[in-house]
Amino acid sequence: MMRLDIRAPIGWLFTLIGALLAGYGLLTGAPSTGTAAGLNINAWWGAVLAVFGIAMLLSTRRRPMAAGKGLT
Amino acid sequence: MNHVLKLSVVDYSIIGIYCLYVLGIGLVLRRSIRTSSDFFLSGRSIPAWVAGLAFMSANLGAQEVIGMAASGAKYGMATSHFYWVGAIPAMVFLGIFMMPFYYGSRARSVPEYLRLRFDEKTRAFNAISFTCMTVMSSGISMYAMGLLMNLLLGWNFSLSMWFCAGVVLLYIVLGGLTSAIYNEVLQFFLIVFGFIPLVLLGLHDIGGWSGLQAGLARVATSQGYAPGVWSESWRFMGSTSSNPMGVEWFGMVMGLGFVLSFGYWCTDFLIVQRAMAAESMSAARRTPLIATLPKMLFPFLVIVPGMIAIALTQRAGAGGLSLPSKPDGSLNFDLVIPLMLGHYFPNGLLGLGLTALIASFMSGMAGNLTAFNTVWTNDIYQPYIRSGASDAHYLWMGRIITVVGVVLSLLAAYLVAQFNNIMDVLQLVFAFINAPLFATFLLGMFWKRANGHGAFAGLVAGTLAAAVHHGLTLPAHAVAGIKGGWLGLVHVYPSEMAQNFWTAIFAWSAGFIVTIVVSLASGAPQKDLAGLVYSQTPRLREANEPWYRRPVVLGVLALAAVTVLNIIFW
């Protein structure tokens, strides 16, 4: 009954949020105060999220999720 | 409250994307829900790794995240006992020894297993107390969320509650347990990716692990403890006075490690339901074992931020942190996580962190609701109200009762908001009912002579023993009443936690002994116990599985890894 491979929605969500975060970071630049001063943490972490999301999406192509096997 | 976080458009966008997204998942899954089994048990089709992550996140509600960080600030590294002594051994036991009976009996719920193994009254007792409990917990979780959003962001208390309740209601009614499980897996990754930067920034700021240790040593000495109390987990467990938890190792290992953890992880349907939805017996057994890996690493994500926060309170100036006080003057540790998010995260990342928190509130509610609608429909409605109806009728009932459950939770939330004591009293009563449960299951699964009368009497006796023990004891510096001592005073414990652990030990022992005595005094069970009791069930053969799919191998690996963690942070 499982029609939706969960890796797809996880992949899309993280790609989307990652792109948004990275884009925002690139637009606004690194924060000038606080612990993360000088480090554009939004851009970097957004990139990490997007890479994770894309990896999830790619994995759905390589290995489709096995169908249920029932009681063993 | 002057700690209000300032959100910008980007933060709201991330929160908005997430909310739309979970509704979308519900809409897509709606098409695959055809039978009541699809709705309540995901058609038993969930792969082991998905079930494993959902198993671990079902417990990872916002109260857990916020509460564990609060304990990290309050007690330090010793909070890891809840994971490395409590959760992991119990999860391994569930996967290796108990899942074969839950999954193999084809029971759709924990109460249904009790009916198959024992009798109707044992099941009814468990089903009714469980449904009341889940509705109340979901109400408490909504209340906590409304309160937090109001405090942090200035959102309207009722509006934030109704909004989240509405989102959760929609996706559960549409997609049932599958929706809940998918969102739990999403939430798991959100928490991981939302909190890793918090821990990294925090550790970088405070000078790494050694900087954290130095900061924590100042916290410990300022409260009159030895310097290492906050950064070491076992060394100061020798006596109740040498650690801020006020517990010693025996009460901790027996009360928390044995009774409370095994009772929760092995018998709470909210958790076990995720493994029951797995696609095969092998996947069901691997579900809790796969969950042990993220579970044993989570202290670094949820406890360490609390420890960093308390160390930062010793630092003066703008880089320091001050925890707000509660009305009674004690520090409000529950705000540790939101304050840390505000302290370290710029806008953008802040939206991600808040989304992770909101997601854990929502999936906490969803977990309670899916367990509630399943137990109501299968263990109360079907046997006692309307039996023999069509499957479509029970599927319809499952959706209707989900709506009812949300309405009841909202009412519970307002009740709790009005009378704060109600929450304390109810949580106490639930703790009494839960405490002896593991004795019932242990005897039920491993002693074929245990019968229904024994199980029922054991549950009642254990609950009473918990109540009487609580009524006769008090934590230090507490007044008689909700904290205990309402029957008289026999013993004073050094802390509330010590009292809780010993209440559980007494309840479990009473349940265990009474079940044995009453079972022996009444007849042997008059039914076929194959698939329900260890000695009556053929051993599962798994020799043809590769090693990484064998439950015993995975279990041994998990226990070895957790032993190493305990030694490193001794």
Residues B126 and B557: beta-carbon distance below 8 Å = no
Q: How confident is the model at residue B3 (pLDDT cuts 50, 70, 90)?
A: low
Question: Which tens digit of pLDDT belongs to each residue from B4-45?
Answer: 688 889 999 999 999 999 999 899 888 888 888 888 888 888
- pLDDT-above-70 percentage for chain B: 99
Provide the pLDDT for residue B407: 94
Across the interface, which of B178, B282, B346 has its CB nearest the CB of A31?
B346
Question: Which tens digit of pLDDT belongs to each residue from B186-213?
Answer: 999 999 999 999 999 999 988 888 888 8
Distances (CA, A) of A55 to B170, B489, B500: 30, 61, 45
B16 contact residues in A (CB cutoff 8 A): none
Contact state of B189 with A10 under an 8 Å Cβ cutoff: yes
| pTM as predicted | 0.90
Contact state of B346 with A42 under an 8 Å Cβ cutoff: yes
Contact state of A20 with B13 under an 8 Å Cβ cutoff: yes
Mean pLDDT of chain B: 87
Task: Measure in Å the smallest separation between the Cα of B197 and chain A Cα atoms.
Answer: 8
Residues B307 and B216: beta-carbon distance below 8 Å = yes
Question: Which tens digit of pLDDT belongs to each residue from B281-330?
Answer: 889 999 999 999 999 999 999 999 999 998 888 887 777 787 777 777 77
Q: What does the domain layout of chain A look like in residue ranges? A: 7-26+40-62
Question: Which tens digit of pLDDT belongs to each residue from B493-536?
Answer: 888 888 888 899 999 999 999 999 999 998 888 778 888 888 77
Provide the pLDDT for residue B217: 84
Contact state of B186 with A1 under an 8 Å Cβ cutoff: no
Site from A1, A26, A41, A60 to mutate, B interface, most B CB atoms within 10 angstroms? A1
What is the C-alpha separation between B379 and B65, in angstroms, rounded? Answer: 31
Provide the pLDDT for residue A71: 32
Task: Measure in Å the smallest separation between the Cα of A56 and chain B Cα atoms.
Answer: 12
Provide the pLDDT for residue B78: 86
Contact state of A2 with B205 under an 8 Å Cβ cutoff: no
**Higher-pLDDT residue of B569, B15:** B15
Least confident of B249-253, B290-294, B536-540: B536-540
B29 contact residues in A (CB cutoff 8 A): 3-4
What is the C-alpha separation between B76 and B51, in angstroms, rounded? Answer: 31
B141 in contact with A, Cβ within 8 Å: no
**Higher-pLDDT residue of B570, B190:** B190
Provide the pLDDT for residue B469: 92
Residues B250 and B258: beta-carbon distance below 8 Å = no
B349 in contact with A, Cβ within 8 Å: yes
Which residue, chain included where needed, has tokens 């479509």?
B392
Contact state of B346 with A69 under an 8 Å Cβ cutoff: no
Amino acid A11 reads: G
- Report the half-sphere exposure of B246 (CA within 13 A, side-chain side): 15
Which of B:223-242 have CB within 8 Å of A? none
Provide the pLDDT for residue B114: 92
Least confident of B346-350, B426-430, B461-465: B426-430
Contact state of A4 with B25 under an 8 Å Cβ cutoff: yes
**Higher-pLDDT residue of B526, B92:** B92
Which of A:5-64 have CB within 8 Å of B? 6, 9-10, 13-14, 16-17, 20-21, 24-25, 28, 31, 34-36, 41-42, 45-46, 48-49, 52
Strand partners, B46: B278
Residue B492's H or E segment, with its range, is strand B491-493
Q: Which two tokens stand for residue B210?
A: 């050694």
Q: Tell whether ipTM is more than 0.85.
A: yes
Residues A72 and B282: beta-carbon distance below 8 Å = yes
Question: Which tens digit of pLDDT belongs to each residue from B430-474?
Answer: 788 888 899 999 999 999 899 999 999 999 999 999 999 999 998
Residue B224 reports pLDDT greater than 50: yes
Count Cβ atoms below 10 Å from residue A27 Cβ, excluding itself.
Answer: 11
Residue A64 reports pLDDT greater than 70: no
Distances (CA, A) of B187 to A3, B202, B284, B285, B300: 21, 22, 21, 23, 17
Residue range A24-43: mean pLDDT, rounded: 80
Distances (CA, A) of B161 to B144, B164, B375, B559: 9, 5, 25, 40
